[in-house]
Amino acid sequence: MRTLTVADIVRKFPVEVLVGEDHLNRVLKKTKVRRPGLEFLDKFDFIAKDHVQILGKNEINYLHTLSDEECKLRIHNIVYYNPPCIIITSQQEEPLGLRQFCTRENIPVLRTPDSMTEMSAKLDAYVVKAMAPEIAIHGVCVNVAGIGVLLRGKSGVGKSETAHILIGRGHRLVADDIVVLKKLSPQTLLGTHDEKNKEFLALRSIGLLNVVRLYGRAAFQEETRIALDIELTEWQENSLNNELEVDTKYKMYMDVPVPHIQIQLQPGRDVAGLIEAAANNWYLQQQGYSAAEEFMKRLEQEFSKDDHKQ
């Protein structure tokens, strides 16, 4: 998990530092920003600590209606819980006492032209991704028709070559060789690159390619939600290759289950086409349709007709 500081917010977003420029190394500990509410009512037993505090128009307007002493008291209630920083939105004027208390406690105060809604949404999304637990695995990540696919297999099995064919068919590369997986929730896994391999695809006998320079911006995507885990394996003569998989198999990454299928390789086999079919089939399943289940129902109906005739 990456450590985030207030300095990261200053670099990432359009904000100005009003107070605490020498204390931007303060660490963020929580992934959600918080609007003060209970602090204004002195209900301290229910206050969540360590969150970035954000002041929108409603909060600022409320503070401006108070007397000087009352306004300072409410500001003190926020500062008392030592947030990593306080953000004023919509380029509003800072309330009375904020600069004084935050200077004394070394708490940075930032101001942005963005509205409360815009800043909260963007900052929450950024912090959740940046602070998410992550692992790096060997494989290739592609986005196939909007569906994130993780390609795995032994070195030299053809993962990068398959990704190259998919790019030629209009799909997108996310990461080659090293895929960084971030756990955003118990059900959500995000796949991305490790910055060093961004936009690069390594092909045996050809070398390193920059897919954006070769094929344009549409050939690359920064990140994608992982929907399928596909393992490319060598062809096994004695295995059953036309089985009906009614029950989905899963691969676990950081306790997040990802639907898993295995594709066996053979000369002349259209592996990229099979991956496209798997992605489209996964999409249909999310809509509630299963070809295998429909086929089984048809068999059951046929057996039922035969039994009735007898």
Active-site residue identified among 23, 159, 164, 182: 159
CB-CB contact of 228 with 250 (8 Å) = no
Active-site residue identified among 32, 43, 64, 138: 138
How many helices (DSSP H) and strands (DSSP E) are in the chain?
Answer: 9, 13
Q: How far apart are CA 233 and CA 253, in angstroms?
A: 20
Q: How far apart are CA 175 and CA 191, in angstroms?
A: 8
176 given a catalytic annotation: no
Q: What is the DSSP string of 222-272?
A: SEEEEEEEEEEEE--TTS--S----SPEEEEETTEEEEEEEEEE-TT--HH
72 given a catalytic annotation: no
23 given a catalytic annotation: no
Active-site residue identified among 124, 177, 198, 251: 177
The catalytic residues are 138, 159, 177
